[in-house]
Amino acid sequence: MRPPPRSLYALMMSKQPAASPEPKTDGRVERSVQTRAKITAAVLDLVGRGVLDPTAEAVAVHAGVGYRTVFRHFEDMEALFDELNAKITQIVLAGLPDLPPEGPLADRITGFVLRRTQVFEAITNYYLSGNIRLHSSESLRRSRANFAQMLRRQQAVYLPESTKTPETAALVELVATIDAWVRLRQLQGCDVETAQRITVRGVTALLA
């Protein structure tokens, strides 16, 4: 099994567009855009480091801006986390392209699990952070539902055998969900490769 990808913070920063060589006509607008991006990146980095529920004060310090500046750019912390979630979703979508259902079943199961768990490993802290606000955030609940639907579609494309009955599809989804991944990694203490092997065995048992 291959190692997990870089952190989402590193991925996001690597995807930042290069600065334009042309001078901006409105420097205030450009500074505002840059400050907003710094604040969002600060939240991304803090959560990635394990600060699952960062305060506005912590975000301001980490971004190198004033406390009031945070709320000049975001109406409240919910709005800030909504933007964070949108950026994470973009990165997740880039990491989970549809894969063609070709090759032996065993190879496809391994590829399916590997691709999915690499993303799960990268977003675990952000997922756990979202759990703190899930009950109070309608936008986050919608995002979680869309995420589940996206994973379901990918599963049907890459492992069409899983769609033979609704129960089989649900069981494969359950075994290869981020909740199962978090349990293996954090509650049962499995390392990445062991957790991946267990997930492969579980999916194989359902489809073989």
Q: Tell me how far apart the 2 most distant CA atoms of the chain are, in Å.
A: 62
Exposed e or buried b for every residue in 32-57, given b needs 16+ CB within 10 A?
A: eeebbbbbbbbbbbbbbeebeebebe
Model confidence, pTM: 0.79
Tell me what pLDDT residue 1 has. Answer: 59
Separation CA 139–CA 195 (nearest Å): 31
Q: Which of 105, 95, 109, 106 is nearest to 172 (CA)?
A: 109
Q: Which of 47, 12, 7, 16 is nearest to 34 (CA)?
A: 16
Instruction: Give, for all 208 residues of the chain, the pLDDT tens digit.
Output: 554 444 554 544 444 444 445 555 567 888 889 999 999 999 999 999 999 999 999 999 999 999 999 999 988 888 888 888 887 887 777 776 666 678 999 999 999 999 999 999 999 999 999 999 888 888 889 888 988 998 999 899 999 999 999 999 999 999 999 999 999 999 999 999 999 999 999 999 999 8
Separation CA 80–CA 62 (nearest Å): 14
In this structure, are residues 66 and 60 in contact, taking their beta carbons and an 8 Å threshold? yes
Q: Which of 61, 78, 60, 77 is nearest to 69 (CA)?
A: 60
Distance of CA 27 to the CA centre of its chain: 33
Q: Sign (positive/negative) of CA torsion 169, 186, 200, 101?
A: positive
Q: Which string of DSSP letters, residue by residue, matches 136-182?
A: G-HHHHHHHHHHHHHHHHHHHHH-GGGGSSHHHHHHHHHHTSHHHHH
